[in-house]
Amino acid sequence: MKKLFVLTTAFFILQQSFSQTIIQRDPEIEQMVKEVSSDSLQSYIKTLVAFGTRNTLSTQGDPKRGIGAARNWVLGKFNQFAKESNGRLTAFIDTITYQPDGKRVDHAINLGNVVATLKGADPNDNRIFVISGHMDNMRTNVMDSVGDAPGANDDGSGSAAVLECARIMSKHSFPATIIFVTVSGEEQGLLGATFMANKAKKENWNIEAVLNNDIMGSNNSNETNIIDNTKVRVFSEAFSVQDTGRKALMIRQLGLENDGKARQLARYVKEIGERYVDNLQVVMVYRNDRFLRGGDHTPYVENGFAAVRITEMNENYYHQHQNVRKENNIQYGDLQEFMDFEYLRKNTALNLCNLANLAKSPSMPPDVKIEVKKLTNNSIFSWAKSANGKIKGYYILIRETTSPVWQKKIFTTDTNITLPYSKDNYFFAVQSVSETGNESLPVVPGIGR
């Protein structure tokens, strides 16, 4: 069998003097990544656009037009995939009645998210990983629920990515649970995502990561004529809402501003994405979302979950939130003809490999500590065995304080290690790794006295 080896992210991006760990691709994930099809993504978007408008306030009674028809079709696709899942995938439309809010909802609506759950195979593993996109869209006027709004890229692209991941992944079995969701109400004020994130918080769902995909299938900007389908952005916030009081003091004292859970997730998405998806660079942006703008990951972030936004490198505002029209020889509107389905394929594969690697990983090592009993230039770590999964061992991750990415991975099968790197000069984390090389999210050590 042909063996493929790839180097860690740091080699490509920083080319630092550190030696690099060689990591083998998991053949199962590599195979799934190969199955991501630009044709299938294009066909989903063609169908979504054909619903005329998917504005959240649009009709739900028409079988061919409006948000109601669109969400029924998405449910139908999930149910079709479920047939090949051996009963592991189940789907439904999770609805609430949303009352007029004096803002972007002017009449009572039946707000619905289409949720497909691929139940984890390990009954002791309650971890959940979420991929999200929004089905709804808008014209120039967000309250216009009647006129045509194609929404091919915003957010046909994210919805198509969710469907494609569900199609491929539902044929496989993972220890942890994956939720594929297309929400509505994003343009009306993140309503669908807020509904789901609040529910997850209230019901104590163990969501370890949310990948929100919004506007990810077009490769060019309007002003600069930049065309580039080799880069994608992942936005993450520094702090979590739980980082208050003593925790906040500790973050300041230890300089852990870039080691919050969303940023760790972003770093993970970059590393795993670049491991499995060729010719794609994942560009981390150190803010929760684009300048003064928002998205569906934010309600999760506000409920204390790790959530990031995945979005294209260059946005084209001629095609975003615009009525379809021609003005001064410029074609406005979010039309399919402006999409790059090969780019969308890579960005979908980025989601798939991350969801698969997370859902196949053992659970995060508990009780990770760095010992500070005496002053030493070594760093001494200990942790407990991960509760779930087939554990091969653990990686100690190391990076310089100014490095955005992990630069070294040191493998051990023990649950403690002493390393000749001073804790004054480096950041560390520990992650568990499965027999097939799938890493958990990293855990930043607490203080051990």
Distance CA 150, CA 159 (A): 13
Distance CA 18, CA 300 (A): 36
Instruction: Report in angstroms how near the CB of residue 335 gets to Zn ion at its nearest.
Output: 16
Contact 200, 305 (CB under 8 A): yes
Q: Of 211 and 272, which has the nearer Cβ to Zn ion?
A: 211
Instruction: Report in angstroms how near the CB of residue 325 gets to Zn ion at its nearest.
Output: 20
Contact 218, 153 (CB under 8 A): yes
Q: Of 125 and 154, which has the nearer Cβ to Zn ion?
A: 154
Binding mask 68-87 for Zn ion (x = CB under 5 A): --------------------
Instruction: Report in angstroms how near the CB of residue 288 gets to Zn ion at its nearest.
Output: 15
Instruction: Report in angstroms how near the CB of residue 186 gets to Zn ion at its nearest.
Output: 5
Distance CA 434, CA 26 (A): 10
With contacts defined by CB under 5 A, name the span among 153-161, 176-184, 197-205, 360-368 that binds Zn ion.
153-161
Two tokens, residue 283: 């560009």
Instruction: Report in angstroms how near the CB of residue 110 gets to Zn ion at its nearest.
Output: 21
Q: Of 125 and 155, which has the nearer Cβ to Zn ion?
A: 155
User: At which residue do the structure tokens 């309250």 appear?
Assistant: 143
Instruction: Report in angstroms how near the CB of residue 133 gets to Zn ion at its nearest.
Output: 9
Instruction: Report in angstroms how near the CB of residue 259 gets to Zn ion at its nearest.
Output: 29
Q: Of 164 and 315, which has the nearer Cβ to Zn ion?
A: 315
| Phi and psi angles of residue 448, each rounded to the nearest 5 degrees, phi first | -110, 120
The binder of Zn ion chosen from 164, 214, 274, 334 (CB under 5 A): 214
Residues shown for the chain:
449
Cα–Cα nearest to 76, from 157, 154, 167, 149: 167
| H or E element in which residue 145 lies | none
Two tokens, residue 343: 């780019």
Strand order from edge to edge, sheet including 391-400: 408-412, 391-400, 426-434
Beta strands in 166-274 (DSSP E): 177-183, 206-213, 231-235
How many residues contact Zn ion, by CB under 5 A? 3
Instruction: Report in angstroms how near the CB of residue 353 gets to Zn ion at its nearest.
Output: 23
| Phi and psi angles of residue 56, each rounded to the nearest 5 degrees, phi first | -60, -25
Distance CA 101, CA 106 (A): 7
CB environment 409-419: b (16+ within 10 A), e (fewer): beeeeebebeb
CB environment 140-177: b (16+ within 10 A), e (fewer): eebebbeeebbbbbbbbbbbbbbbbbbbbbbebbbbbb
DSSP structure class, residue 285 = E
Two tokens, residue 359: 């859902």
With contacts defined by CB under 5 A, name the span among 20-28, 155-163, 241-249, 283-291 that binds Zn ion.
155-163
Which of positions 254-293 make contact with Zn ion (CB under 5 A)? none
With contacts defined by CB under 5 A, name the span among 34-42, 71-79, 211-219, 412-420 that binds Zn ion.
211-219
Q: Of 56 and 432, which has the nearer Cβ to Zn ion?
A: 56
With contacts defined by CB under 5 A, name the span among 142-150, 151-159, 285-293, 306-314 that binds Zn ion.
151-159
Instruction: Report in angstroms how near the CB of residue 333 gets to Zn ion at its nearest.
Output: 15
Binding mask 108-147 for Zn ion (x = CB under 5 A): ----------------------------------------
The binder of Zn ion chosen from 26, 125, 136, 155 (CB under 5 A): 155
Instruction: Report in angstroms how near the CB of residue 311 gets to Zn ion at its nearest.
Output: 9
The binder of Zn ion chosen from 154, 274, 289, 312 (CB under 5 A): 154
Q: Of 160 and 397, which has the nearer Cβ to Zn ion?
A: 160
Q: Of 128 and 138, which has the nearer Cβ to Zn ion?
A: 138
Work out the angle at residue 209's Cα, subtended by the Cα atoms of residues 249 and 265, and round it to the nearest 5 degrees.
60
Going from the C-alpha of 19 to that of each of 240, 390, 393, 407, 409, the distances in angstroms are 33, 28, 20, 8, 10
Residue 315 found at the interface with Zn ion (CB under 5 A): no
Instruction: Concatenate the DSSP letters of all residues of 348-381 into one string.
Output: HHHHHHHHHHHHHSPPPPSS-EEE-SS--SSEEE
With contacts defined by CB under 5 A, name the span among 35-43, 83-91, 207-215, 440-448 that binds Zn ion.
207-215
Q: Of 131 and 169, which has the nearer Cβ to Zn ion?
A: 131
Binding mask 18-57 for Zn ion (x = CB under 5 A): ----------------------------------------
Instruction: Report in angstroms how near the CB of residue 193 gets to Zn ion at its nearest.
Output: 11
Q: Of 293 and 385, which has the nearer Cβ to Zn ion?
A: 293
Residues that bind Zn ion (CB under 5 A): 154-155, 214
